[in-house]
Structure 1
């Protein structure tokens, strides 16, 4: 009898954790394990702002999947559609070849993409912070603005290049603004012709408060820390249009700038739409057991799935955080094994351990187990949490060494040019235009697809 084929889509927190546990729970003869992922690493997303700021090297947050997964086959590509009736996952390999990958059990942990709105110019000019390539591009871009500002004779151009706008007052936006502000402040010392006082960082969010998930007190402390460093806030407002050299806000103000960093939330992977099943605010509706109602062969978790939060009574769904995704990955594996062995599935239940926000240096706010901390104690908790959450000893060592090296030797503020010459649009980095439509799935209109075992 052929071994059942388990296909996992996405090598993020949920997918990697699921496969790591499956390798321990299932023998080689019990199932074939296949991971569909465009990269051969698991990105530790919470530390991406540190990469953009040059505090960590890209390799530090790119945890090798082949180091963690010894028996799983890696298919380098992206799942662009799912035919649940034929039990086929449509994959576009990194070479462009399209494959029909059959499965017995499909685990959807496709993650999320940057959430955008129909704002004129946003798709053309906004820079994101969702992938490793985007972080590398953003670092080069910010340093390039300093280089160009230092040589221009045009005062208006200098002001625009030294003004940086970040949209999004959540964790990603706040940490990105904080870390990059420290980068430009430190780098300005290497530019004798630049007045550091001319460098401006603006953090914009439609919400009336910063970091509302942490509560009013810690959000206010985070604002105080960043204001002390010169960051300006525009809360209760948003962006109405974007051009190559300026951003117009909904309150009518126009900010001349060459840098708009967009971190205003995430949305589920477009892969979810190809299943033609129920969604909740764009996320695939899942049961507490991480199954998809009406589709026996599919399980889902992570950012792409709306999983009932049983710790809060089940009326709400778990937020799209790394903490939940990682723990859901373990339950996914247990339930896949339970299905194969004909045992009952278990529900996902996890009480949030707390939240941490690293603002760089000695600045941080955190709320572990409901205890509100700020400053050095919060920074110790934040960095300790990240080190312990990294899945391999090698990754932990790299991060610790990088932090120590940056604290003692500083940064050289060089542009690597790794991403030079490529389109910088959000949809180009995140490949959001590559997915099939439901009509293409229904009518099997898959371009030059071939079936693979």
Structure 2
């Protein structure tokens, strides 16, 4: 078959869903059946659930960033850049490369797995003064920032400034927020012992969430156990509360409290990538509405999955949608690859069905709560299940070896309280990491594609 006539399969996003899809396409398609292209700003797959452990220094950043270029046997072409628009009618994806060049990438089949971004609200000062926990850079930056607060508090002669630098606020009582607060609290608790001039009693962590319960998916008993563990460590938990205003040196809660702090970490949920809005297609709470087969009705060759797609959860029924979790993304990636191949070969596509295997929450040290297959676990057994699950989900043996080595080294030698220099220049906040202003509107996408076509 001539190279020019081979079908072009374009996969957008290198998260769990996108990478699993690409790897399965490579395994099941012969080289002359189709050309496979992957669009991603970074040539690695990030294992997001372990980001809090990078922020706390238990794991190195490299250990959870699995290189996509390591193996020589893969034949997928990688475009370093981000998809900023899709013209469904012309079957063209508009890409901003890492050199800021805007290019058109035509496709016959497109798999949209661009993931999600941090969900924010119109709260004064939020994007200017809060940190996120969604990218590898943010996790590494937060670690630097938290340690720098201890250094600056130790150097300060002003008791008011010292107290404000030693208070930390985490917004979001889901898995990301709870694990972030738990892991970073352990870091500061261990680090303050190396600062003789600092009073450990001044270090205060606040975990707040607008919901009435912490991690309600865990159930009443495990959720209460997690709260008890955190409160025992001294973390103040406030439920039914959010942020009214954020400033450079204080945060105002919706219940009127004003907390002097230089550290606000925002983990209050995610929303679908802004790329989805460029399609002009039907959405469900911002996620692209797809069929159970994960194809977009009325658009031949368009598939979507992961955090950006509202995939019907047939295992639950009653109109439920699959939650944006790693276990669904991994399985959806493999399943959508099979459906793309079936569509390519003229075969029938199958609906996606997966029964949730349970939940794991690593609170650092020997503290954890887990619910594998509905069995409630706490303490060391829960920690073994949580880390075992994460370890087995890592895609390569190299990544597994690095993570296991980091865990063992941390258990034996403890933490290192080293700053890497991110704080030496201009401070960065949530708005500086996710580039949400890079996307086009549907009208801009069409105008760009049509203008390029006329020039050709």
TM-score between both structures, scaled by the size of structure 1: 0.97
Cα displacement (A) at 1:445: 6.9
2:312 maps to what in 1? 308
Aligned-residue RMSD, C-alpha: 1.7
2:408 maps to what in 1? 404
Q: Distance in 2 between matches of 1:435 and 1:450?
A: 22
The answer to whether 1:378 aligns with 2:382 is yes
Cα displacement (A) at 1:211: 0.8
Q: Distance in 1 between matches of 2:67 and 2:454?
A: 29
Evaluate the alpha carbon distance shift between residue 451 and residue 163 of structure 1 in structure 2; reply closer, same or farther with a 3 A threshold.
farther
2:175 maps to what in 1? 171
Q: Contact conserved, 2:172 with 2:209, CA < 8 A, in 1?
A: yes
Q: Contact conserved, 1:98 with 1:449, CA < 8 A, in 2?
A: no
The answer to whether 1:121 aligns with 2:125 is yes
Q: Contact conserved, 2:91 with 2:108, CA < 8 A, in 1?
A: yes
Q: Distance in 2 between matches of 1:152 and 1:445?
A: 56
Cα displacement (A) at 1:446: 8.8
Q: Secondary structure at the match of 1:311?
A: coil
Paired residue for 2:34, among 6, 31, 34?
31
Superposed, 1:278-317 pairs within 5 Å as 278-313=282-317, 315-317=319-321
Cα displacement (A) at 1:451: 10
My pick for the range that moved more, 310-319 or 256-265, is 310-319
Which ranges of structure 1 fall in alignment gaps of 5 or more residues? none
Paired residue for 1:269, among 258, 270, 273?
273
Q: Secondary structure at the match of 1:433?
A: helix
4+ runs deviating over 6 angstroms: 445-452
Cα displacement (A) at 1:183: 0.5
Cα displacement (A) at 1:72: 0.6
1:248 maps to what in 2? 252
Paired residue for 1:52, among 45, 52, 55?
55
Q: Distance in 2 between matches of 1:362 and 1:84?
A: 50
Q: Distance in 1 between matches of 2:20 and 2:168?
A: 37
Q: Secondary structure at the match of 2:62?
A: helix
Q: Distance in 2 between matches of 1:117 and 1:277?
A: 24
Q: Distance in 1 between matches of 2:242 and 2:448?
A: 42
My pick for the range that moved more, 42-51 or 403-412, is 403-412
Evaluate the alpha carbon distance shift between residue 428 and residue 198 of structure 1 in structure 2; reply closer, same or farther with a 3 A threshold.
same
Deviations 1:305-348 (A, max 9, x none): 00000001151100011110110000111011001100010110
The number of residue pairs the alignment matches comes to 452
Superposed, 1:4-15 pairs within 5 Å as 4-15=7-18
Cα displacement (A) at 1:129: 0.3
Q: Contact conserved, 1:98 with 1:447, CA < 8 A, in 2?
A: no
Q: Contact conserved, 1:358 with 1:382, CA < 8 A, in 2?
A: yes
Cα displacement (A) at 1:419: 6.8
2:264 maps to what in 1? 260
Q: Distance in 2 between matches of 1:222 and 1:203?
A: 12
Q: Distance in 2 between matches of 1:296 and 1:274?
A: 17
Evaluate the alpha carbon distance shift between residue 28 and residue 418 of structure 1 in structure 2; reply closer, same or farther with a 3 A threshold.
farther
Q: Distance in 2 between matches of 1:450 and 1:301?
A: 33
Q: Distance in 1 between matches of 2:86 and 2:425?
A: 33
Which ranges of structure 2 fall in alignment gaps of 5 or more residues? none
1:3 maps to what in 2? 6
Evaluate the alpha carbon distance shift between residue 337 and residue 424 of structure 1 in structure 2; reply closer, same or farther with a 3 A threshold.
same
Q: Distance in 1 between matches of 2:398 and 2:105?
A: 33
Cα displacement (A) at 1:66: 1.9
Q: Secondary structure at the match of 1:130?
A: coil
Deviations 1:150-203 (A, max 9, x none): 011111111110000000000000000000000001111111111111100000
Q: Secondary structure at the match of 1:295?
A: coil
1:16 maps to what in 2? 19
Q: Distance in 2 between matches of 1:365 and 1:383?
A: 11
Q: Secondary structure at the match of 2:173?
A: coil
Deviations 1:72-112 (A, max 9, x none): 11100000000111110000001101100000100000000
Paired residue for 2:440, among 419, 429, 436?
436
Q: Contact conserved, 1:136 with 1:419, CA < 8 A, in 2?
A: no
Superposed, 1:359-398 pairs within 5 Å as 359-398=363-402
Q: Contact conserved, 1:133 with 1:419, CA < 8 A, in 2?
A: no
Cα displacement (A) at 1:448: 8.4
